[in-house]
Structure 1
Amino acid sequence: MTKINQNNPTHKNRRPKEPEWIDLETDVLSEDDAAQEEAPAKPAPKKQTAGKKRPSKKKKSGVNFHIVFLSLIAIVFIVVVFKLMFWDKRVHQNTERENDTTLSFDTEPLDSIVPLDSSSVGAKEKDDDLHILFLGNGSLADDKDSDSNMANIIQKKTGATVYNCAVPGSYMAMKNTTYKDSFIYDAFSFYNLCTIFTVGNTETISWAERDLGGLPEDVESSLELLQSIDYDELDVLCIYYDGADYLDGRPSYHIDKETDPTIFCGALSAGLDLIQEFLPNVRIIVMSPTYAYVVDKDGKYSSSFNTDILEEPLSNYIGLQSQICMEHHVSFVDNFYGSVYEEIADDYLKDNILLNEKGHELVSDRFLYALNRFNDYDF
């Protein structure tokens, strides 16, 4: 083997190689290129077989249908609960309430306006003057000479001849089936007033006059007017009794006593039977009581929907009264739900039951609506 001579002048005199200068502007690799160079080579992906295609990922929807479904169930439940809790409660819009009977109700007014039977209309001789008789109590009998009284408002608006024969302190129903001096004002109840101008019964009021030692002036004037009317000329008879029967605890209805004058609906039925028999040509309009407050022993007002003080609510009287009117084919104007109802009662009552001036105006307009429903009176 040949031995290398380390003292060879050629090897000894060799110069180290000069370092290369790097142009930073042109020769430095970009970060991306450097990363590609330094990264280890990755194996090529395997080809997928035709039978095992990878499913593509579906994009998730932004709507959760379970939440939507549960929300709908919750809404339906809330609506049902609201109806159960607030049924029979009137919900009015936030509008001007004065003389407004077009408000929105959960319970609609029970109005039933019907014309006079056409077979009866032909038998009555027509004239130019409209004659209207009012029977009732309470607000109708309150301050009868005042311009703000309901009957006088109607007279002014229609130009009709109006007879206001309302008796203050009277009731629709009697306390006893026959007159007794323990309840003298039974003589002035609705049914007994009807017997005066149908069958000519004046004996009962003469007993009352005797037992009272003379009739009060306002009662006497109503009875005298009632007996002075020419009933052949009468066109309309309006019956308007307030909630006095309810507040006095007089019963509303008995299925076996349909014409019992000691029951609210029985007295109405008995009186209507007399009027329709003896005055078949007269159109009858029955107006229900308006809303009225119950007054407890401490003088506090309570809702007439409650049964804590009285056995049944005033609304029962209204519903039953409307049925009696339909059975007799006479017009019925619902003042309880359609005129002065609970939510606005304070604006139209001057105490727990009597109408104030605005109340008289409102109820008068309701009567005129019924009066002109099937007629073309010029007012």
Structure 2
Amino acid sequence: MKNRKLSPSDPQQHRIPDLDIIDLEAPSPSGDARPGVSDGSRPSEEEPSSQEGGKKRCPAWLNIHTVLLAVAVLFVAGIVYKVMTFGEYVDLDEIFSDGPGEYSDTYDTILPLLDESSNPVYKDYSQGATILAFGNAPFADDRGSEDNLVSLMQKETGTTIYNCSISGSLMTTVLNDLHADTAPWDVFNAYWLCNILAGSEKADKEYLEALEFLGDEAPPEAKEVYDTLKSIDLDDVDAIVIMYDASDYLAGRPMSNPGNATDITTFAGNTEAIIEYLHYFAPNTRVIIMSPTYAFALEDDGTYISSDMKRYGQDVLSIYAILQYASCVSRSTTFVDNIYNTINEDNAEKYLEDHLHLNLKGRKKVAERFAYALNYYNQDPRTGAQE
């Protein structure tokens, strides 16, 4: 429509203005469609300018979902890469080329005998000392031979050691009291043997009844041990050493009783009960507890596996030994750590003849450890004096 100004006095002010008709179908003078108008009858969205300075449109495939997917893929790939390249390859053959090495940690607790004033007693046990050995297979195997562990301990220390071990016995008992007809093997436990040594009439009576009840099934050395205990005066005993192997663990016997620290039906509890009994009845006798050496556990087909990987009862073998150590510490008694510091999982094949029993090299190693503990306080470090 033409823009024409009319004055009020103009006679044409009431005329209908001329109209210019726009042909929407006609091309623009430049030959292009009119701005904002598509080839059809409906207007289209204005195309973004491609001129310099205008905004560029992102590709249609690039949106928030694509970005998140890419981030997730990169994150997972990073985790996989870290897992695949974590750490450094270790050649065990190279590490152990010079042998298995040694454990830096040990539960050895070597303590002296104390006098009435709680002062250490420094004594040379090689000068005619009398020692009693209680336990099972480690002391009982090859009894009487030069290769027996007790025989080797005597050679190492120059002492007289009476072998009061019983083959096939255990550190734990079945019952808390003696009943020869119900649990006859309990009488061969170190706790009840110490009772006989201290003159207990009940333990004496039950022991003989158990021998009669078992007959030919009784341990072959049972009567010999009984006669030895009856012939010895407890006041003349300088030291008592106790060592049981891993048979209690392999048999699934109880390890401990949190409600009763001296429960003799448990491995740690029996240890503590023996110490308590001897401290009361033999205060001038040094007590040395030696832990089991390492032993392998067995699969159903007889295959050896680590005893730190299989439970027969409450826990694995190492925990039995550690709780025994705790019982010794609580009673201020010497504890010799055989499971880590003598024969451990790394060297066990060298010192065991099977999964449990010591070979000659193993016995010699244990004998050396006993001599180390026995003579640790054989003289006063301040004066060099002995008892």
TM-score of the pair, normalised by structure 1 = 0.70
Distance 1:252 1:122 in 2: 32
Report the count of equivalent residues.
Answer: 290
Q: Residues 364-375 of structure 1 correspond to what in structure 2 (within 5 A)?
A: 364-375=367-378
Q: Give distance in 1, aligned partners of 2:124 and 2:155.
A: 21
Structure 1: which amino acid aligns with 2:210?
A
**Aligned runs of 1:70-149 on 2, under 5 Å?**
78=87, 94-95=97-98, 103-105=101-103, 108-119=105-116, 128-149=127-148
1:348 maps to amino acid: Y
Q: Give me the whole-angstrom Cα distance separating, in 2, the residues matched to 1:367 and 1:125.
A: 15
Q: 1:187 maps to which residue? A: 187
- In 1, the alpha carbon distance for the partners of 2:167 and 2:211 equals 15
1:343 Cα deviation from its structure 2 partner = 1.3
Task: Report the CA distance shift for 1:333/1:186 in structure 2 as closer, same or farther (over 3 A).
Answer: same
Instruction: Please identify which structure carries the higher helix content.
Output: 1
1:174 and 1:189 in contact (8 A); partners too: yes
Judged with a 3 Å threshold, the aligned counterparts in structure 2 of structure 1 residues 333 and 94 are, in CA distance, closer, same or farther, namely farther
Matches of 2:325 and 2:279, distance apart in 1: 17
Amino acid at match of 2:111: V
Q: How far did residue 296 of structure 1 move?
A: 2.8
- Give the deviation of 1:125 after TM superposition: 11
Which letter does structure 1 place at the counterpart of 2:186? Answer: D
CA deviation profile, 1:254-277 (whole Å, cap 9, x unmatched): 110211111111111111111000
**How far has the Cα of 1:307 moved from its partner?**
2.6
Q: 1:278 to 1:296 in 2, by over 3 A?
A: same
TM-fit CA distance, 1:185: 0.9
Unaligned runs of 5+ in 2: 1-81, 380-384
One of 186, 195, 213 as aligned partner of 1:211: 213
**2:284 is equivalent to residue 281 of structure 1:** yes
Q: Which residue of 2 aligns with 1:335?
A: 338
Matched residues in 1 for 2:121 and 2:372: separation? 25
Structure 1's consecutive aligned runs of 4 or more residues displaced over 6 angstroms after TM superposition are 120-127
SS at match of 2:212: helix
Conserved 8 A contact 1:135-1:238: yes
Q: Runs of 5+ in structure 1 lacking a partner?
A: 1-72, 83-90, 98-102
> Partner of 1:299 in structure 2?
302
Query: How far apart are the structure 2 equivalents of 1:292 and 1:199?
Result: 35
Hey, what's the Cα distance between the residues in 2 that align with 1:367 and 1:162?
12
1: CA distance, partners of 2:298 / 2:223: 30
Structure 1: distance between partners of 2:151 and 2:367: 9
Q: Deviations over 1:132-172 (max 9, x none)?
A: 11110012111111111111012123221111100001011
Q: Distance in 1 between matches of 2:324 and 2:192?
A: 19
Aligned twin of 1:196: 196
In structure 1, the partner of 2:6 is none
**Distance of 1:358 and 1:366 partners within structure 2:** 13
Q: Distance in 2 between matches of 1:141 and 1:337?
A: 22
Give how far 1:94 is off. Answer: 3.9
* Equivalent pair of 1:154/1:368 in contact (CA under 8 Å): yes
Task: Please list, as runs of the form range in 1=range in 2, the aligned pairs for 1:225-240 lying within 5 A after superposition.
Answer: 225-240=228-243
Change (3 A) 1:227 1:147: same
Measured after TM superposition, the shift of residue 121 of structure 1 is 7.6
Return the alpha-carbon distance in structure 2 between the equivalents of residues 92 and 185 of structure 1.
Answer: 47
Aligned residue for 1:316, secondary structure, equals helix
Change (3 A) 1:160 1:121: farther
TM-score when normalising by structure 2: 0.68
1:254 partner SS? coil
- Which residue identity is paired with 2:137? G
Partner Cα separation in structure 2 for residue 123 and residue 344 of structure 1:
35
Separation of aligned partners in 2, 1:219 and 1:302? 33
Which residue of 346, 351, 354 corresponds with 1:351?
354
* CA distance in 2 between partners of 1:78 and 1:226 (Å): 60
**Conserved in 1, the CA contact under 8 Å of 2:123 and 2:377?**
no
Supply the AA of the counterpart residue of 1:104: E
Q: CA RMSD in A?
A: 3.0
Q: State the shift of 1:308 in Å.
A: 5.8
- Structure-2 residue corresponding to 1:270: 273
Partners of 2:112 and 2:121 within 8 A in 1: no
Does 2:176 correspond to 1:174?
Answer: no
Q: Structure 1 residues 293, 134: closer, same or farther in 2, change over 3 A? A: same
